[in-house]
Amino acid sequence: MMKTIQNPAVGELSPAGAGVDRKSSTLNQLLLSLKSIPVLLAFIVLVTVVVLAAFAPVLGTVDPIAINPGGRFSPISEAYWLGSDAYGRDLYSRLLYGARISLIVGLGAAAASIAAGLVIGVVAGYLKVLDAIIMRVMDGVMAIPSILLAIALVSLTGASLVTVLVAITVPEIPRVVRLVRSIILNVRSEAYVEAAVSLGTPTLRILTRHMVPNTVAPLIVQGTFIFASAILTEATLSFLGAGLPTEIPSWGNMMADGRMYFQLYPGLVLYPGIVLALTLLSVNILGDVLRDVLDPKMAKRT
């Protein structure tokens, strides 16, 4: 019964090597883009910041909170590699421990807002009934200025890492929701999704197997931008005094502390400021590269 139907098209299979693995070609493209000098520099800066933050305790630091009344405004020396601040705390140690805070806030906010945004976005995109309601709520959240929301939250619950994270994450969620929803809306009319429906595939499997994978690349790209903006927002909040408690070494706190003595000791503000600026620049450059490689359509639009 299983007689093969002869047809010339069978011989026409494209050669097995032709673009077999899309993942490896993406990786190749990413490696290739490191050839450009700015991208390479950005990569080096980010890796350095991550290494410094991860190995802060063993890189010749002292307790970043320890106050030394005798060593106030110490210049650069054997004991104080970058000098000390108004309370005699070691600037170098505070800078490295501050990197930890910044990276934790960046990663945490990116991960949390993407996780929440993905779930809400998928629901909004797939269930027409809830779509209008969810999106109006999101519009509402978007209308609140993020700094204002953060200040309100912190003043209600007290300053802690978790409060700051929540305060940064919530305003980012609507943007992720919009992104995910638009992708889901696009994909749900694809013929392969309809084919899955007619094959009797349960809704949850259609979502996880056929629809959500399409959101991964754009979400990675969006994640890098949230990462960068979260670091900046945390620094802003700390600088305004609405962020982490002042003794905790964060770049924003360091700049706030040093602000009054800027004309005498510019290093107090400059060191954390420069590190913050360089980190953000690198994350943004690398985010652009990721976007160009993973999401060529979006790159063309901007």
Partner 1 sequence: MTDQKQDAGHVTAQPVLDVRNLDVSLVGVGQTKVVRDVSVTVNPGETVCVVGESGSGKSVTAFSIMGLLSSEALRCTSGSILLQGENVLEAGPERMRSLRATTMAMVFQEPMTALNPVETVGDQIDEVLRIHRKELGKRERRQRVMAMLESVHLPDPERIYNSYPHQLSGGQRQRVVICIALILEPKLLIADEPTTALDVTTQRQILLLIRELQEKHNTAVLFITHDFGVVADIADRVVVMNRGEVVEMGQRDQILAEPAEDYTRMLVSSVPSLVPDKRTENRNEIVLSVKELGKVYSEKRFLKRRRDVAAAVDINLTLRRGEILGVVGESGSGKSTLARCVVRLQDPTNGEVVICGENIAALRGQPLQTMRKRVQMVFQDPYRSLNPRLTVGDSITEGLTNFGVSREAALAKARELVTLVGLSPDVLQRFPHQFSGGQRQRLCIARALALEPDVLVADEAVSALDVSVQAQVLALLDDIREKTGIGVLFITHDLRVAAQICDTIMVMQDGRMVEFGPAADVLTTPQQAYTRALLDAAPGRHWDFQHFRPL
Closest by CA position to 125, among listed 112, 113, 138: 138
The binder of partner 1 chosen from 38, 213, 266, 296 (CB under 8 A) = 213
Backbone angles phi, psi at 161, to 5 degrees: -60, -40
Residues within window 130-169 making contact with partner 1, judged by CB under 8 A: none
Q: What angle do CA 230, 124, 151 make, to 5 degrees?
A: 30
Give the position of tokens 């700049």. Answer: 255
Residues within window 228-267 making contact with partner 1, judged by CB under 8 A: none
Nearer to partner 1 (CB atom), residue 162 or residue 199 = 199
**CB 299 to partner 1: min, Å:** 16
Nearer to partner 1 (CB atom), residue 69 or residue 200 = 200
58 binds partner 1 (CB under 8 A): no
- Look at phi and psi of residue 286 and say left if phi exceeds 0, alpha if psi is from -120 to 50, else beta: alpha
55 binds partner 1 (CB under 8 A): no
Interface pattern 171-210 for partner 1 (x via CB under 8 A): -------------------xxx-xxxxxxxxx--x---xx
Give me the residues that bind partner 1 (CB under 8 A), please: 1-2, 4-10, 12-14, 16, 18-20, 190-192, 194-202, 205, 209-210, 213
